Amino acid sequence: MAAATTTASICSSDTEKASHRFEIRGYNQHCSGLGIGKYICSTRFTIGGHDWRIRYYPDGATEEFKDYVAVHLELMSELTNVRLLYDFKLRNNQQQQQAAISSTVLTSEGPSTTCGTHKFIHKNELANSTSSYLWGDCLEIECEVTVIKDSRVQVPPSDLSLHLLQWFSSGQEADITFKVEQVTFRAHTLMLAMRSPIFKQQLYGQGQGQTPRDRVQRAEINIEGISPAVFKALLHFIYTDELLAEHEGEDMAKRLFAAAETYAMGRLKLLCGNILSKGLTVQSVVPILELAHKHQCTELKDACIEFIISSKRRMADVVSSAEYQVFKHACPVVALEVLEKSSDSKLGLSDPMLFLN
């Protein structure tokens, strides 16, 4: 039999602990007949970099617990989350602390968060003439707070895409050259192959017995059907997974949408589709609908149809346009889908033949 093994791990955290004493002098004057849900509060105090105060409910916090005194700890700092432990204690007439309530680890969820207990001590026990807690018409509550702090080492956001972009821009270790019209671009075959299955097939192939460097180092690869600006934007996305703001116009989004389809880059295709769907107008929706149909993007096609049928006036303006008249003959299946969805939305035109004939 194999010997038993023992494993161990350590989880440690930085904490700050401190106490605040809340003394209520003239208890009867302050607390008698205050009412359910009404409270008196301590001054504001700071523990663990956060501001707190104690709420004391002499007639109970709620109707259900009206026979008990309630005590809560309130977080006063704004827009912050805090992990903490708390411990409320009463002090008797011998100045000895009597534990009344302790907490497990809690996490606050926002500003003015409170935690504590509705059943701190029964009112009869507190009011009893023999009670050691309420003496000299004075009550002392001590609250010990332990704040569990996060790591002090702040981790910056990922800068991987920045380094990859610098790698692309510098041309260091580039092992492939593309020529688009009269503009050349240097890139890295491994990066292209990771991001696009089309580039992977083109650059690596199968069973040819050569490395990409062997196959492409000797000559440039000519790229046709795409402009240098679009190919540069495509390469920028390949290295960074982002589009520059200057690439988010409608014309560039259309061209990148087509390029994404060519190189089987699904995320870029949907990103461009999202840009196009946000800028739809009566004038632009038909060409974009045609583009979506051509490149089989269901999400963009559905967005265009929803835009068309979103109001009767808009639908009438679109289907009566010259662009739609050409489109419905070129893409009758999509025109039929527009008709069906308009009927489902109860916004159908008085003459449905406008959709099809």
- Residues 276-306 pLDDT 10s: 999 999 999 999 999 999 999 999 999 999 9
> Is residue 242 domain-shared with residue 164, that is, in the same domain?
yes
Residue 285 belongs to some domain of the structure: yes
> Is residue 263 domain-shared with residue 286, that is, in the same domain?
no
> Is residue 183 domain-shared with residue 231, that is, in the same domain?
yes
CATH code assigned at 215: 3.30.710.10
Residue 125 belongs to some domain of the structure: yes
> Is residue 31 domain-shared with residue 139, that is, in the same domain?
yes
CATH code assigned at 26: 2.60.210.10
Residue 88 belongs to some domain of the structure: yes
- Residue of 286, 294, 297, 295 lying closest to 335 (CA atoms): 286
> Is residue 204 domain-shared with residue 134, that is, in the same domain?
no
What is the percent of the chain with per-residue pLDDT over 90, rounded to a whole number? 47
Q: How much is the pLDDT for 218?
A: 47
Residue 275 belongs to some domain of the structure: no
Domain end residue (candidates: 95, 114, 149): 149
Low-confidence residues of the chain: pLDDT under 70: 1-13, 79-80, 93-112, 129-131, 150-154, 206-219, 344-357
Residue 5 belongs to some domain of the structure: no
Residue 7 belongs to some domain of the structure: no
Q: How much is the pLDDT for 353?
A: 52
| 8 Å CB contact between 104 and 64 | no
Cα separation, 90 vs 126, in Å, equals: 11
> Is residue 263 domain-shared with residue 330, that is, in the same domain?
no
Q: Is 337 exposed, middle or buried (0-12, 13-18, 19+ CB in 10 A)?
A: middle
What is the number of structural domains in the chain? 3
> Is residue 318 domain-shared with residue 191, that is, in the same domain?
no
Cα separation, 141 vs 54, in Å, equals: 9
Q: How much is the pLDDT for 208?
A: 53
Domain with 67 in it: 14-149
Residue 40 belongs to some domain of the structure: yes
